[in-house]
Chain A
């Protein structure tokens, strides 16, 4: 079994992936994995909490939509998918991949061919945003009065 940290990091990557990418990754496996749905995929809400002043006491900002699903793959591992949005199929695919990544014949391959490139792509997208932001950085200078 993988450590909690490893599991947290692939879940974060999978949660940000496009559903089609995850679908293709699961379909591409041979032999095709099978799973049992333990908690059927459903969409619901999570209350988003913030802190006064960013660091102070907690308060509720508002809700966000979340989809979730729990599956058990053949062979035993239980996978859990919680993803922002209402895409129930995506939550199920994340749960399936979470189970497959924990152990079994596909774990290594999925980590290398799915999770690693996805993580790279997501980081590149983040860098693109940061580089546009960097282009709008200003250096204010105060005019000296009365000179």
Chain B
């Protein structure tokens, strides 16, 4: 089931320059983003991912994916060199059904599938709920949704550009299923923000 990847030129552009240190730094940033929902983290590492993949998207993939994490790549991501690059450097098995993936990578936020398409885990094993890595045109700490929940002192504000209009309602509906649900990382350029399933979205 593991996707066999023939190294192509795109795949052969290197991953992390310093695999251990860079992965640690990216993990730190991801952890900070997830534990302070809405906070925008800036990555400082050097990375040259293939065209169409932002540095933060690439760093999140290299940090979180490995041979034990089935990944679903949105069709547009699967089409170009991005898929080969991600599969080559992470060794993650690529699955064709979104609901079978532990991670999902979307380079085009506008075509984000319905949240119900992914695995939300079960009440018994909520940790099996998938993590989405969604690349968006921009992230802003002003003029967006109001967030509250664990990791937020009072309120946080996050504006995420490029998501489909249906996202807000779908994400708010998901809160009712807690502890089941999805954790979502948003990547833009070298920046990263997160909406873990614990966060409550207000308009």
Residues of B within 8 A of A (CB-CB), count: 11
State whether the Cβ of A37 lies closer than 8 Å to any Cβ in chain B: yes
State whether the Cβ of A75 lies closer than 8 Å to any Cβ in chain B: no
Contact with B along A32-47 (1 / 0, CB 8 A): 0000011110100000
What number of residue pairs across chains A and B have CB atoms under 8 A from each other? 20
State whether the Cβ of B19 lies closer than 8 Å to any Cβ in chain A: yes
State whether the Cβ of B93 lies closer than 8 Å to any Cβ in chain A: no
Report whether A38 and B19 are in contact in the complex, using a CB–CB cutoff of 8 Å: no
Q: Collect the chain B residues with CB atoms within 8 Å of residue A72's CB.
A: 12
Contact with A along B85-106 (1 / 0, CB 8 A): 0001100000000000000000
State whether the Cβ of A14 lies closer than 8 Å to any Cβ in chain B: no
State whether the Cβ of A94 lies closer than 8 Å to any Cβ in chain B: no
Q: Collect the chain B residues with CB atoms within 8 Å of residue A42's CB.
A: 19-20
Q: Collect the chain A residues with CB atoms within 8 Å of residue B88's CB.
A: 39
Q: Collect the chain B residues with CB atoms within 8 Å of residue A70's CB.
A: 7
Q: Which of B11-26 contact A (CB under 8 A)?
A: 12, 14-20
Q: How far apart are the CA atoms of A78 and B8 in the complex, in Å?
A: 10
**Contact with A78, one of B12, B16, B17, B20 (Cβ below 8 angstroms):** B12
Q: How far apart are the CA atoms of A82 and B145 in the complex, in Å?
A: 48
Q: Collect the chain B residues with CB atoms within 8 Å of residue A38's CB.
A: 7, 12, 14
Q: A67 CB to closest chain B CB, in angstroms?
A: 13
Q: How far apart are the CA atoms of A70 and B15 in the complex, in Å?
A: 11
Contact with A along B2-14 (1 / 0, CB 8 A): 0000010000101
Report whether A40 and B12 are in contact in the complex, using a CB–CB cutoff of 8 Å: no
Report whether A78 and B7 are in contact in the complex, using a CB–CB cutoff of 8 Å: yes
**Contact with B89, one of A37, A39, A78 (Cβ below 8 angstroms):** A39
Q: B47 CB to closest chain A CB, in angstroms?
A: 13
Q: What residue of chain A has the Cβ atom nearest to residue B13's Cβ?
A: A38
Q: A142 CB to closest chain B CB, in angstroms?
A: 52
Q: How far apart are the CA atoms of A15 and B99 in the complex, in Å?
A: 39
Q: How far apart are the CA atoms of A40 and B15 in the complex, in Å?
A: 8
Q: Collect the chain A residues with CB atoms within 8 Å of residue B16's CB.
A: 40
Q: Collect the chain B residues with CB atoms within 8 Å of residue A78's CB.
A: 7, 12
Report whether A40 and B7 are in contact in the complex, using a CB–CB cutoff of 8 Å: no
Q: B63 CB to closest chain A CB, in angstroms?
A: 14
Q: Which of A49-99 contact B (CB under 8 A)?
A: 70, 72, 78
Q: A144 CB to closest chain B CB, in angstroms?
A: 59
Q: Which of B55-90 contact A (CB under 8 A)?
A: 88-89
20 residue pairs from A and B, CB less than 8 Å apart: A37-B14, A38-B7, A38-B12, A38-B14, A39-B14, A39-B15, A39-B88, A39-B89, A40-B14, A40-B15, A40-B16, A40-B17, A40-B18, A40-B19, A42-B19, A42-B20, A70-B7, A72-B12, A78-B7, A78-B12
Cβ-closest 7 pairs across A and B:
A38-B12, A78-B7, A40-B19, A42-B19, A38-B14, A72-B12, A39-B15
Contacts A38-B7, A39-B88, A40-B16 aside, 4 further interface pairs with beta carbons under 8 A come to: A37-B14, A40-B17, A40-B19, A42-B20
